[in-house]
Amino acid sequence: MEVRRHDIVIVGGGGAGLRAAIAAGEQFPDLSIGVVSKLYPMRSHTVAAEGGAAGVIKPNDSIEQHISDVISGSDWLADQDVVEIFVNQAPRELVQLEHWGCPWSRMPDGSVAVRPFGGMKTERTWYAADKTGFHMLHTLFQTAMKYGNVVRYDENFAVQLLVHEGRCQGVAALDFRTGEVFPVVAPAVILCTGGGGRIFAFTTNAVAKTGDGMALAYRAGVPLKDMEFVQFHPTGLPDTGILITEAARGEGGILVNKDGYRYLQDYDLGKPVDVNDPEHPRKSTMELGPRDRLSQAFVKEQAKGGTIQGKFGDYVHLDLRHLGAKRIHERLPFIVELCHEYVGLDPVRDLIPVRPVVHYMMGGVHTDLDGATPLPGLYAAGECACASLNGANRLGSNSLTELLVFGARAARAAVEFGRQNSALATEALAAQAADQQRQIQERFSRRGSEPIARLRQELNEAMEVGAAIERDGEGLQQACNKVAELKARLQDLRLTDHSTTFNTELPAALELENMIDVAECVVQSALARTESRGAHQRRDFPKRDDQQFLKHSLAYRTDAEPRIEYCDVTITKWPPKERHYG
């Protein structure tokens, strides 16, 4: 078995992973950087992000304002030192991306354009039409190609963290082409594996978003933080869950119920301004409220009977028609394309059916503001990490910027750590990888009786019901029981493909295992948090409880269900208040 050695190994080639790779590759040309990714990097789901990336750049905006928006958006569960660092570094990172060629949309004077986004009191979201993530990812990927010291392992699946004497020193990776498991070792590893929305049935997330990095860290003893906070985006297309970006509302789109009524006004989100009024859309109110509040308003409207019944669940309408063809085509071309292709509608003339859809995980691998996890040598950045920027609810367009800021920070910290701790127990690590190869072979040559698809579907259904926008103790307990049952049934998985060349069933099985671990942390953390905060709404505990729960949850792996502990939120200058929109 060949051992690949690098100075740092990055797992994941999405926005966070590529930013980390470039940060290390550019600043330290003498270092060798390995990037292990189960997808070709430009296929990563960052590619699907539409709306934009937040960063203070215009004179009418201020750092303080962005900080305050993030903190209240997070329902005070964000660590305020992290927020400050993030907001301060955001503009630099976005300018850097501009220098690398990102085709940001422009003002007539040639400066970059910004648009309003939910929960932001000033417009500060940079965008490249409505394909922002696509352009960011391709810019990063193309830029990364020019660094000779960035070595890619495309279509290689990280199956295990290699930990020796309390230090993470690499990963074991499964090469899809050969079926071989081999060690990629380095004194520092950065997880950038993205979110895990696929644990739910109805999601905007790509099939690859199975929470792998979270599960890898979790199994290595690192806690997963704030996993109960799952973001539901208010506007997904029924059936496919394809996202209709918040930018559609940032540009002035409105949400209406079955009677054409702007129902959000009934749910404490401010008063509507007429769509022809120059004041519209008023920032941080109505359609531009935060996502948690909008999705919750949908559920209440549904209970009231205001939504429309459809073949694929209840929905409301997103109305863009008043924006006019020119603006829609210029600012939202991808939305036009998606509506046309997948639902046969033209947003210039038609109403778009939308309903809340699982979109993003606020929680993730517990890290500090440099991406360092409690396990020495292990770092994490991007959606798989939880540096506690987003707290209980992420504001739209902060994630893309987060990838850049924390991807770069984690890389620098990891390089530094690697310099101080360069010794590697190569033989022991290789033995671990060999053992992993054996285990995989052994487990998957067994012929069980449970098809992957069935277990996955049962998991999805349990999460959809138990961990929905509104939850309660009973439902969560049922979900916990179901997940525990599925975990047991995993032992009897049936694999039919025993070939080693591009076997796609094997990774699907590994992903299912990861999803079950991640789902267990979500439901157990949610069960333990007996309050309502941000995206976590308990019918049986409808109030925020700062006394007990102004705290991050930490889920630790045990032999049975995870052990939930709590740690403090860092509050510096912004003491908790009531959240107010409108």
Partner 1 sequence: MADENAILEVFRYQPDQKSEPTFQRYEVPFHEEWVVLDALNYIKDHLDGTLSYRWSCRMGICGSCGMMVNGDPKLTCSVFLRDYHPQVMRVEPLRGFPVIRDLVIDLDDFMNKMTEVKAWMIPKEERSIEQGEYLQSPAQLARYRQYSTCINCTLCYAACPVYGRHTEFVGPAAIALAQRYNMDSRDGGYEERAETLFDEHGVWMCTFVGDCSRVCPKNVDPAAAIQQAKVSATKDFYRSLVPWGKRRTET
Partner 2 sequence: MSQVQSHDSESSARGDHAARLYHQPWPSDWWLRRASFTLFMIREITAVFVGGYAIFLLVLLFLPAGAFQAAVQGPVSAFMHVIVLVMALYHTVTWLNLTPKVLVVWRGEERVNPILLTAAHYVGWIVLSLVIVGLVVFLAGGGA
Ligand X SMILES: Cc1cc2nc3c(=O)[nH]c(=O)nc-3n(C[C@H](O)[C@H](O)[C@H](O)COP(=O)(O)OP(=O)(O)OC[C@H]3O[C@@H](n4cnc5c(N)ncnc54)[C@H](O)[C@@H]3O)c2cc1C
Q: H-type helices in 220-290, by residue range?
A: 247-250
**Whole-angstrom distance, CA of residue 186 vs CA of residue 67:** 36
Span interacting with partner 1, options 2-10, 43-51, 67-75, 395-403, rule CB under 8 A: 43-51
Please say whether the beta carbons of 181 and 173 come within 8 A.
yes
User: With binding defined as CB under 6 A, does residue 53 bind ligand X?
Assistant: yes
Sole binder of partner 2 in the list 152, 164, 456, 487 (CB under 8 A)? 152
User: With binding defined as CB under 8 A, does residue 111 bind partner 2?
Assistant: no
Residue (65 or 478) nearer to ligand X, CB: 65
- Point out which residues pair with 566 in neighbouring strands: 553
Residue with tokens 């998606």: 338
CB atoms near residue 95 (< 10 Å): 16
Residue with tokens 């890619």: 152
User: With binding defined as CB under 8 A, does residue 151 bind partner 2?
Assistant: yes
Span interacting with partner 1, options 137-145, 265-273, 460-468, 534-542, rule CB under 8 A: 137-145
37 binds, among partner 2, partner 1, ligand X, none (CB under 5 to 8 A by kind): ligand X
Using CB under 8 A, count the residues that bind partner 2.
Answer: 17
User: With binding defined as CB under 8 A, does residue 499 bind partner 1?
Assistant: yes
Residue (38 or 456) nearer to ligand X, CB: 38
- The token pair at 508 is 């699907």
Residue (396 or 418) nearer to ligand X, CB: 396
504 binds, among ligand X, partner 1, partner 2, none (CB under 5 to 8 A by kind): partner 1
User: With binding defined as CB under 8 A, does residue 351 bind partner 2?
Assistant: no
Residue (71 or 208) nearer to ligand X, CB: 208
User: With binding defined as CB under 8 A, does residue 147 bind partner 2?
Assistant: yes
Among 164, 233, 355, 557, the one annotated catalytic: 233
Sole binder of partner 1 in the list 29, 63, 101, 439 (CB under 8 A)? 101
We find the least distance from the C-beta atom of residue 303 to ligand X, in angstroms, to be 27
**Whole-angstrom distance, CA of residue 553 vs CA of residue 559:** 19
User: With binding defined as CB under 8 A, does residue 447 bind partner 1?
Assistant: no
For residue 555, give the 3-state DSSP assignment. strand
* DSSP-assigned states of every residue in 115-133: E--TT-SS--EE-STT-HH
**Whole-angstrom distance, CA of residue 423 vs CA of residue 25:** 21
User: With binding defined as CB under 8 A, does residue 150 bind partner 2?
Assistant: yes
User: With binding defined as CB under 6 A, does residue 290 bind ligand X?
Assistant: no
Residue type, 404: L
Residue with tokens 């930018």: 247
**Whole-angstrom distance, CA of residue 424 vs CA of residue 471:** 46
Please say whether the beta carbons of 283 and 276 come within 8 A.
no
Q: Known catalytic residue: 366?
A: no
451 binds, among partner 1, ligand X, partner 2, none (CB under 5 to 8 A by kind): partner 1
User: With binding defined as CB under 8 A, does residue 39 bind partner 1?
Assistant: yes
We find the least distance from the C-beta atom of residue 468 to partner 1, in angstroms, to be 22
Please say whether the beta carbons of 539 and 470 come within 8 A.
yes
Span interacting with ligand X, options 51-59, 443-451, 496-504, 527-535, rule CB under 6 A: 51-59
- Taking CB atoms, the residue at the shortest distance from ligand X is 14
For residue 512, give the 3-state DSSP assignment. helix
Q: Known catalytic residue: 19?
A: no
We find the least distance from the C-beta atom of residue 95 to partner 1, in angstroms, to be 5
User: With binding defined as CB under 8 A, does residue 59 bind partner 1?
Assistant: no
Q: Residue 523 to residues 204, 274, 447, 467: CA-CA distances in angstroms? A: 20, 41, 30, 7
User: With binding defined as CB under 6 A, does residue 73 bind ligand X?
Assistant: no
* DSSP-assigned states of every residue in 134-165: HHHHHHHHHHHTT-TTEEEEETEEEEEEEEET
- Point out which residues pair with 158 in neighbouring strands: 173
Cα 474 to chain centroid distance, Å, stands at 27
Q: Residue 442 to residues 436, 437, 447, 465, 518: CA-CA distances in angstroms? A: 10, 9, 10, 35, 24
Closest Cα to residue 391, out of 539, 286, 268, 291? 291
> What dihedral angle (degrees, nearest 10) is formed by the CA atoms of 366, 368, 371, 375?
-60
We find the least distance from the C-beta atom of residue 36 to partner 1, in angstroms, to be 16
Closest Cα to residue 281, out of 556, 43, 581? 581
Span interacting with ligand X, options 139-147, 182-190, 275-283, 392-400, rule CB under 6 A: 392-400
Closest Cα to residue 231, out of 400, 471, 396, 48? 396
Cα 436 to chain centroid distance, Å, stands at 28
User: With binding defined as CB under 6 A, does residue 139 bind ligand X?
Assistant: no
Among 249, 293, 529, 538, the one annotated catalytic: 249
We find the least distance from the C-beta atom of residue 10 to partner 2, in angstroms, to be 14
Span interacting with ligand X, options 254-262, 344-352, 376-384, 450-458, rule CB under 6 A: 376-384
Please say whether the beta carbons of 173 and 184 come within 8 A.
yes
Report strand pairing: 189-191 vs 224-225: unpaired
Using CB under 6 A, count the residues that bind ligand X.
Answer: 48
User: With binding defined as CB under 6 A, does residue 192 bind ligand X?
Assistant: yes
User: With binding defined as CB under 8 A, does residue 151 bind partner 1?
Assistant: no
**Whole-angstrom distance, CA of residue 71 vs CA of residue 435:** 45
Sole binder of ligand X in the list 105, 393, 399, 436 (CB under 6 A)? 399
- List the interface residues with partner 1, window 237-276 (CB under 8 A): 239-240, 242-243
User: With binding defined as CB under 8 A, does residue 504 bind partner 2?
Assistant: no
- List the interface residues with partner 2, window 156-175 (CB under 8 A): 175
Binding-residue pattern over the window 63 to 92 for partner 1, x denoting contact by CB under 8 A: -----------------------------x
User: With binding defined as CB under 6 A, does residue 69 bind ligand X?
Assistant: no
Catalytic residue IDs: 233, 249
Residues lying near partner 2 in the complex (CB under 8 A) are found at: 2, 4, 144-148, 150-154, 175, 177-178, 180, 501
